[in-house]
Structure 1
Amino acid sequence: MPIRIPLRARSDWIVVLGPIVAVLFAAGLATYLVTEWPAIATDPAFFQHTGWYVLNGGVPYVDVWDVNPPVPFGISAVLAVLSGGDMLVLHGLGVTLTAVVAAASVLLVGQVAHLATGNDAAAVAAGLAMLVVPELFLLSPEGVRAQFYALFFGVLALALVLRDRPFLAGAAAALSAGSWQSGAAFALLVVGMAYQRTDRRGALAAIAGGSVVTGAVLVAFAAAGALVPMVVQTVLAPLLAGSSYTLAERVYSILLVFGYGSMLLPVAFYGWARAVAVVDRRELWWVPAGGLIFGFQVLFVDMDGSTDALLWLAFVALGVGVAAERVTARRSSVTDPGDDAAPTIRRQWAVVAVVGLLVLAGLGWHYGSPQPQERLRTMEEAAEPDGDPLPIRPGDADVPSMQTIYWERMEPETCHYRLSWNEMRWIAMTDGQLDAHDCDGWPSRTDRG
């Protein structure tokens, strides 16, 4: 039978994990505000500008070409309303909300681990394992990025289904998929988990929750005349115009992202194996299943930077949590609970301390390990397949930088102004035009060659 933790289950883990998360994310936010504010990276500028553009008549996927699903645009539009049209205030809101969402995601991973195992050390270890990739708290203060919201809604969906709220879990999973395509895997996991916990009724409730959110989005874009271009750009374009790769290049990318935290990967793999190998833990099948699905994503589908690994990182962290629970579990053969209480507590603190040291090592990797990082980057570049150069490049387009478009609140005359490499490949494949005013139809041709 699945483990069912009461709603008022002990949460001592939050007393340990909460302050650590608060300190690291506050430090990341402060670092950005002191060293970079109000500079804005291209991705946050794009998402936040599109939110503002929507309020001024712009239609995503018609006036704006992009491969990302629409939820980040909707979030940015709400922030644009709150900002009153002031782009500096909008950026401040985007920075604050994304940092809070990323921090909440770490705590949600801890909660999911606790709900799944009933073990405080597992919850703390899982939460800390998220922090071994410091970009989680160093990049989130830069503003709205799709992957942070996909992570938040996806892990929220897991927490809700473990609390037997399948309808809300399905809705949250749909929001994850609507933030970033890979988030769709959460919908599959949530439906399976709901079925396991409450049979067909729960699975149908999860499907209904996801359908309500998905249906509302589809109706809204159909009413705006943007349904076809949304499907073309968020489904067809990523499948056909995705970046080329080799397996070796992706492995090097993963090692670059995890750094010294890569030492946790074997621990996570052990946790995944224990989740399905031990009879009383087979209800945790979704932990290794999620790890394998998102592992496939980072190895074969999309891994262009650290944020692309965040969803896999969540399941790596949960695997670490399961492993920590097995290490710190008290032997069932002990008749007197007090006999092994002290050794158990020592084991718990030892596990937390080891993972905590890897969090600090992650910061060392990020700031102070140029030589091994440079070696990995060289190997990564050497592994990239040689291909024919594209006939067009971003510099061929006569558009300002994304930063200029953002700060000057421009309404570009063309739909191609983000100018990502996915965009360039799509234009080349479809004989599209860089100066197209609208991107509102099905392509006349798609030629991968």
Structure 2
Amino acid sequence: MKRLSKAAFSQNSLTAPIVSTIVYLISVMRVILHGNWPVTSPDTAMFQHIGWLVFSGKRYYIDAWDPKPPLTLELATIIAYISNGDPHFQHTLSVMSTIVAGILLTYLISHITSEITGNQFAGLLSGIVFITFPVIHYSPVFGYEPKYFVFLFGLGSIYLSKKSRPILSGATAAASAGMWQFAIIFPIISFGIIIRQKSEDLILKYVFGATIITFFVLLPIYLQGGIVAMTVEVIIAPLYAGETQSFLYRLVKGVIHLKLMIPIALLGIGGILLGFLDDIRERWWIVGLLLWFCIQIFILDYDGADDLFLGIILVAMGIGFAFDKLSTKYNSEKINSIVTAVVVCMLIWQVVTLGGVGVITNPYSYSGDNPNQAILESGVQQFAHLSGYTEYTIGGSPPDEQYNVKSKYGPDKIEELFFTSTIPSTCHYRLSGMELEWMNLTEQSFSEEKCGKWRIP
């Protein structure tokens, strides 16, 4: 038994990704066994539908309004091409690819923590704590979720910078930012690590890697004539029509999402600060990510539980740092046993109850109907609640036009559009909160066939 334990926690241990694989499969099987496969959320269905639209000859940002950067949509399109436009096969591939990204991310978190602390068990602990958060192991069930790729590329860029692999670091940093606007922190940090190595050759190689990826990401958009549309929807619209919730509103939302995982989160944050004080010169980037996460959540972007992703990664690493600190101060074997028991119990409880004490409580109905409001409000409902707009004020559109569009489209209709391979008659069919607010500010019609015209409110 001791030999088995040593093997599990050895230098090249794959224990964390193996555990994460099992947990992901359990989550998927629970949905399948309830007889309602496939099931999606409005966001995942929208990404997959845009991928299918482009496969069918439509254009990014012009034929479908969306504020996500291009690589998010391009990866969805690649999956659509691999599946030859079959939505059910595309959805299955989307689930599989997201799970693979999640497994690789778990390994990366575990490996980075192990290297920083020099403690293999601390790394294993970080990987397993990451997967215990239900929003992490349950979200891939619903299809293509870009944030797994965002943070896989983002953390990968930092790791590669520290290993003096500038071309790959620049490429992965650009890929991360090319999928989510707020991942811009990863190019900043990874480039900062390269600069600190004081080598002009490394800097030039980093810029080269980032430039190559940026070129190939923007090329399809340019060829489709969508650069202006992309600029309007990805950059300008979020600036003018972004979230306006108060600090207190966001704080309460965080408490509701985390529930009894709050002590784990606080312990993880404490571990980050302890680890930072141990080696400020080498661990500055971790605190940099933590500060950026606070800015993102409390000021910039906090729609749902999946926006806690970066914070969960940092908490997982912080737990590893805290364990390393404790194990060096007290009896290591005793600490190992106690922590192992706690983590195993927490993991089993979170998986069996589907997050009964975590981020999600009974998150989605297995019928594929509207998602539970605790994790993802309807964009239209959220917009109406926060902004006070009535049904007849959006963009100055007449009531009958709005009724016709809303009766066919919106967050609760995206899944049907995707699985029935339907091409909408308007580019405004997601009708998210940001989209509705942007339409109102720029007086756009619900029935517009083409989006992305240059408009400033």
- TM-score bucket (shorter structure): 0.7 to 0.9
Matches within 5 A, 1:135-146: 135-146=135-146
2:424 aligns with 412
**Residues 68 and 180, structure 1, Cα contact 8 Å, conserved in 2:** yes
2:436 aligns with 424
Separation of aligned partners in 2, 1:314 and 1:196: 25
Matches within 5 A, 1:42-441: 42-197=42-197, 199-278=199-278, 280-329=279-328, 343-363=331-351, 366-368=354-356, 387-390=387-390, 391-392=393-394, 397=405, 399-400=408-409, 401-441=413-453
**Residues 287 and 319, structure 1, Cα contact 8 Å, conserved in 2:** no
| 1:365 Cα deviation from its structure 2 partner | 7.2
Q: Residues 126-146 of structure 1: CA distance to partner in whole angstroms, max 9, x if unpaired?
A: 112212321211111210122
Separation of aligned partners in 1, 2:446 and 2:75: 28
Q: Which region of structure 1 is more displaced relative to structure 2, 125-134 or 12-21?
A: 12-21
Separation of aligned partners in 1, 2:350 and 2:260: 6
| 1:373 Cα deviation from its structure 2 partner | 7.4
| 1:100 Cα deviation from its structure 2 partner | 1.7
Q: Which region of structure 1 is more displaced relative to structure 2, 195-204 or 73-82?
A: 195-204
Change (3 A) 1:276 1:238: same
Q: Which region of structure 1 is more displaced relative to structure 2, 229-238 or 309-318?
A: 309-318
Change (3 A) 1:200 1:361: farther
CA RMSD of aligned residues (A): 2.9
| 1:162 Cα deviation from its structure 2 partner | 3.1
Number of residue equivalences:
418
Q: Which region of structure 1 is more displaced relative to structure 2, 128-137 or 89-98?
A: 128-137
The code of the aligned residue for 2:333 comes to I
The code of the aligned residue for 1:402 comes to I
| 1:287 Cα deviation from its structure 2 partner | 0.8
Separation of aligned partners in 1, 2:283 and 2:357: 37
Change (3 A) 1:396 1:251: farther
Q: 1:397 aligns to what SS in structure 2?
A: helix
| 1:304 Cα deviation from its structure 2 partner | 1.4
2:33 aligns with 34
The code of the aligned residue for 1:211 comes to T
Change (3 A) 1:49 1:245: same
| 1:354 Cα deviation from its structure 2 partner | 3.2
Separation of aligned partners in 1, 2:341 and 2:193: 32
Separation of aligned partners in 2, 1:256 and 1:364: 20
Separation of aligned partners in 1, 2:64 and 2:114: 42
Change (3 A) 1:173 1:55: same
Q: Which region of structure 1 is more displaced relative to structure 2, 191-200 or 65-74?
A: 191-200
Q: Residues 192-243 of structure 1: CA distance to partner in whole angstroms, max 9, x if unpaired?
A: 1223346454344333322221122233322221011101111111121112
Change (3 A) 1:430 1:21: same
**Residues 260 and 357, structure 2, Cα contact 8 Å, conserved in 1:** no
Change (3 A) 1:440 1:389: closer
| 1:427 Cα deviation from its structure 2 partner | 0.1
**Residues 121 and 352, structure 1, Cα contact 8 Å, conserved in 2:** no
Q: 1:433 aligns to what SS in structure 2?
A: coil
**Residues 268 and 318, structure 2, Cα contact 8 Å, conserved in 1:** yes
Q: Which region of structure 1 is more displaced relative to structure 2, 155-164 or 178-187?
A: 155-164
Change (3 A) 1:42 1:228: same
Separation of aligned partners in 2, 1:61 and 1:246: 30
Output the TM-score relative to the length of structure 1.
0.85
The runs of 5 or more residues in structure 1 that have no matched partner are: 1-9, 332-339
**Residues 154 and 172, structure 1, Cα contact 8 Å, conserved in 2:** yes
Q: 2:388 aligns to what SS in structure 1?
A: coil
Change (3 A) 1:171 1:15: closer
| 1:13 Cα deviation from its structure 2 partner | 6.8
Separation of aligned partners in 2, 1:253 and 1:14: 37
Q: Which region of structure 1 is more displaced relative to structure 2, 387-396 or 266-275?
A: 387-396
The runs of 5 or more residues in structure 2 that have no matched partner are: 1-8, 363-372, 396-401
Separation of aligned partners in 2, 1:86 and 1:146: 20
**Residues 61 and 229, structure 2, Cα contact 8 Å, conserved in 1:** yes
Q: Residues 57-85 of structure 1: CA distance to partner in whole angstroms, max 9, x if unpaired?
A: 11111111001111122112111122122
Q: Residues 272-309 of structure 1: CA distance to partner in whole angstroms, max 9, x if unpaired?
A: 2223323x453111111101101221122111111111
Separation of aligned partners in 2, 1:238 and 1:32: 34
Q: 2:389 aligns to what SS in structure 1?
A: coil
Q: 1:28 aligns to what SS in structure 2?
A: helix
The code of the aligned residue for 2:431 comes to L
The code of the aligned residue for 1:37 comes to W
2:398 aligns with none
Change (3 A) 1:260 1:202: farther
Q: Which region of structure 1 is more displaced relative to structure 2, 393-402 or 229-238?
A: 393-402
Q: Which region of structure 1 is more displaced relative to structure 2, 124-133 or 293-302?
A: 124-133
**Residues 244 and 385, structure 1, Cα contact 8 Å, conserved in 2:** no
